[in-house]
């Protein structure tokens, strides 16, 4: 069955370290997204991609980067982890055929703790 996976599911790191969170989808979706979820906030968009070699900044992109070298993967990199980046991170994908507000399918999330 097609799916979207994230790894690792849990990560503890130290301030200043570079961290990469993986996201892999097998639906052949064009669009992929990274969100963070914190208490008291709705899901907030970090970065998104509409296809291979395309990346765009979202609402809270400072300190994060992404690259899209193939359709299936959109890794999220924290260049120098900060305690403020402790959060739960969700990857999502959508078909991407130009339809507005199409359904996004979410991964299971990665819980990141920055000490």
Partner 1 sequence: KNQVEQSPQSLIILEGKNCTLQCNYTVSPFSNLRWYKQDTGRGPVSLTIMTFSENTKSNGRYTATLDADTKQSSLHITASQLSDSASYICVVSLQAGANNLFFGTGTRLTVIP
d(CA 58, CA 50): 13
Q: Which is nearer to partner 1, 48 or 64 (CB)?
A: 48
For partner 1, the binding residue among 21, 87, 94, 114 (CB under 8 A) is: 94
Classified as helix, coil or strand, 43 is: coil
CA–CA dist 47, 36 (Å, integer): 10
**Residues within window 2-61 making contact with partner 1, judged by CB under 8 A:** 31, 33, 40-45, 48, 50, 56, 58
Q: What is the 3-state secondary structure (H, E, C) of 51-83?
A: ECCEEEECCCCCCEEECCCCCCECCEEECCCCH
Cβ proximity to partner 1, 107 vs 112, nearer residue: 107
- Which residues contribute to the site for partner 1 (CB under 8 A)? 31, 33, 40-45, 48, 50, 56, 58, 90, 92, 94, 96, 100-104, 106-109
């Amino acid at each position: 069955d097609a799916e979207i996976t994230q790894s690792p599911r849990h990560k503890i790191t130290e301030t200043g370290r570079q961290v990469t969170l993986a996201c892999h989808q097998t639906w052949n979706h064009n669009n992929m997204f990274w969100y963070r979820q914190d208490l008291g906030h709705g899901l907030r968009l970090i970065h998104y991609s509409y296809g291979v070699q395309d990346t765009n900044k979202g609402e809270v992109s400072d300190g994060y980067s992404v690259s899209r070298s193939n359709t299936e993967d959109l890794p999220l990199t924290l260049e120098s982890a900060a305690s403020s980046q402790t959060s739960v991170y969700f990857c999502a994908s959508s078909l991407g055929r130009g339809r507005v507000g199409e359904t996004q399918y979410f991964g299971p999330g990665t819980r990141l703790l920055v000490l």
